[in-house]
Structure 1
Amino acid sequence: ATVSGVLKDAGEAGFIPTPPWFQPAKAEQPEPPILGQPVEREAAAPSADPAPPVGQPSRPPADGRDTRPTLGTDTQAPPRLPTTRVAPAPTTPTAHAALEEELAAIRRLVGQVLQSSRRAEARVAQVPESGQTAVAPSVSTGPIFDLYMRLLDNQTSTEVADDLTSAVRDDLTASELSDAATVRDALLRHLAKRIAVAQETQPPTRTQADRPTVVALIGPTGVGKTTTVAKLAATYKLRHGRKVGLVTADTYRIAAVEQLRTYADIVGLPLKVALSPQDMTAAIEALSDCDIVMVDTAGRSQHDAARLDELGEFLDAARPDTTHLVLSLAAAESVIYAATERFGALNPGNLILSKLDEAVDFGVIANIAARVGVPISHITTGQEVPDHIEPANADRLARFVLDGQAAWAVSTRGV
C-alpha cells in the first residue's frame, strides 16, 4: 500500500484526521478527442431485460418481478410542453369575405344586446287605451341598424341616436327601410333638422348711425378665440368690404395683445386695448367710424365664478349686438357641457365650434345641438387666417356626425 492510500484509509476510518496538505489523487480523465479522428467508445453492458421492439408490449422480467408503477409511488409521466393551436388565416378573397361577414354578424349581435339592455326602460311606453305597457319597435337589422351603430361609434349619445332612428323608421315604409341609400338620405335629413345653425346669409353691418355693430367672442381658455377673431375680421374686410376695428380685453395671457396686433397689422385693422370696463366703452367710441368692431375677451375657466363675473362687466360695457361662445371640439364632451352651462349666464346668442381639425369624434356636434339649444354660427377647420373658418352648414355637419373622420377626409380634399 502506498502512503497516500494508508492516509486515506485511516482518515476515512476516523483514526487520524486528514492533514490539510493532503489531496487525494484524482481519477485520470480521458484526453479530449482530436478533431477529425474517430472516437473509440466502450461497448455497453448487455441488459438483463432488453427493451422490446417498438410497437410490441413489454415482457415481464424473467424472475417474475412486477415493474409496473403503483399508486402512491414517485413514478410520474414526463411533463408535456404546452402547445398553442393557431388556425390558418384566410388566404383567398372568398375566405376573407366570409370572415368579414361573420365578424359583422357578431358585432351586430353584441350591439343589439348592449343597446337593448341599456335602453330597455326607455323603450317601454304606456298605452293609454288599455293601460298596459308596450315596447316600441327596436332597431334590429338592416341598413338602419348599421347607421345606428355608426352613430354610436362616432360618440353620438344613445338618446340622440334613438331619436333619429325612430324618426327614420316612422318616416319610411318597410320596402324603403331595406334600401341603404334611402335610409341614409332620410337619416341625414333628420339629423340636419336637429342641428340648429345661425341663419346669417350676410356678414353683420352697421345698424346704428352713431355706433358700429359690436361682435364679442367669449369662451374658456385655449379654444382659439383670438385666432377666430382675426379670421372673422379678415373675412369681413377682405371678402365683404366691411370697415372693421378690433378691441382686445385679453391682457392676462402672455403675448395675447401682440398676437392680435400682428394680425391687425397684416390685414390693416385698427386695434384698441381695454384694461377695464371703462376702457372698453372708450375703445368702442374711438372706433365709431367702423362698420364692425370685433371684441376679443380673456379666456376664463368655467369654474372661476369671480373671473366670469368680471367678464360680464366687460360685456356690459361693450354692449355687443352679437355674442359668440367659442367651444373646442378637441375638448372632452363633459368639459364642453360644463362651459356651456357656466357661460350660458352671459347669454351668448351663437356658438362657434373650433378646432374641427383636431377633433376625434364628431358625434358630439349632434349632442351639443340637442342639449344646448344655441345655434351654431361658424366652424373653424385649421389655423390659417382667414381661410380656415366658414359659416355653419347643417347638411355638412350632419355628414360629419354620421360619417366621422371619413367625411372630414373628404371635405379636406375638397371633394
Structure 2
Amino acid sequence: MSPNRVYLDHNATTATRPAAIAAMAETLAVVGNPSSAHAEGRAKRRLVEEARAKVAALVGADPACLTFTSGGTEASNLALTPSIRDPRDPRPVTRLAVSAVEHPAVAAGARFPKDAVETIPVDGRGVVDLKAVEAAFARHAAERPGERMILALMLANNETGVVQPVAEAAALAKRHGGLVHVDAVQAAGKIPVDMAALGCDFLALAAHKFGGPAGVGALVRAHEGLHVEQPVVRGGGQEKGWRGGTENVAAIVGAGIAAAEALRDLDAFASLALLRDRLEAELARLGDLVVFGAGAERLPNTSCFAMQGVAAQVAMMALDLGGVAVSTGSACSSGKTKASPVLDAMGVAHDLSVGMVRVSFGWSSRAADCDRFLAVWSEIARRNQASANAA
C-alpha cells in the first residue's frame, strides 16, 4: 500500500498480517506433499493440522470438523446441497431458505434448484424477520414431514455490517427439524464467533477477511457425522474426501497464523467502533446523511451510508483521486452501478441506494485514516452543497 494512500475497504479484503506473510514464505521454501508418507510429507501435514486447529479455534469449533476450501464461496457451495446426509435425522434435505440480504454465493441457492429456494424478508434495518423464519419452517414441516429444510443466514452483512440474530433463527429452524448454515465470512475475526452458541450445523470462513491470504477458506461442521455425498471438488480424497486436490499448504499456514492473531486481537478490533462512530458523527454535520443499518447491531468497523445529492460513483472517484479507497457496495459487485440488492431488500428508495458508500476499517487502520477520509469528503460535501444552491 502506498504511504500516500488510505485503504478503507477492509470488508472487501483486509491487509495480510506480516506474521502470516513470513510464515507463508518459509513454508514455500520447504518441499513436501502433505499426502506423502515420507518425512517431508509428514512435516507438511503437521503444518496443515496446526493451521486447522488455529482456524477452528477462531470459531470455537472442533478441528476434526474443519475442511479447507478456496474461500467462503466454495465453502457455502459445499454445504448448501440436497446431498446433505445427517445420521441424527435421515430425512432428505429438499428445500433452502435464504435471507434477502445474503451474499450472492448463497442468494443464488448454491447447489439447490431455483424452485427449491425460498427468500426470507428483512426489516428496514436489514435484520431478518424471525417470524417469517419460523413460518417458513413450520409450513415446510407440516406440508412435507418426510423432508428437511436448511436455513442459510449470514452472521454479519458485508455491505451494511448488520449482525443477524443467528442463534434465535437457528433455534426456530431446529424446532421444526431444520438445519442451519452460517456465512461467517465478514464476522470472524471482527466479533466473537462461537459455533455452538450460534446453534448452526455448517459455517463458512474466508482467510482474507481476517488477515490471511486470499484463496483459502474453510467449511466447519457442528459434528463429524454431517456429510455431503457430492463434494464440489472431487479428486484423491484429500480433506477426508470433502475436497480433492493437493492442499495449498502455504496459504493454509497463513490462514492459521492470521486466525490466531485475529482471535488475540478481538478486543482491539472492537475499539474500531470509536472510529466508525466518529466518522458518522462528522459526516452528519456535513450534509443530509442516512446510515444504513443504524439502530441494529453492526460490525464495529463498518459504516454504510448515503448523503443526499451525492452520487456513489462520483464520490468514490473523488475519494480515489484524494488517495482514499472505499467501496460502493460488495466487492463481488465491483464495476456495477445498479442499486444494491441488500438495500433493495431493506426497502431503501432507489435514488438513495444508488448513493451508497461503504467505509470499512481493518486491523491495520489508524485514526489518521479517518481524518484523511473526512478531509476529502468535506470537499465532496462542499461541492454538493454549492451545486444544490446553484440549482
Measured against the shorter chain, the TM-score band is 0.3 to 0.5
TM-score (norm 2): 0.33
TM-score (norm 1): 0.31
Largest Rg, 1 or 2 = 1
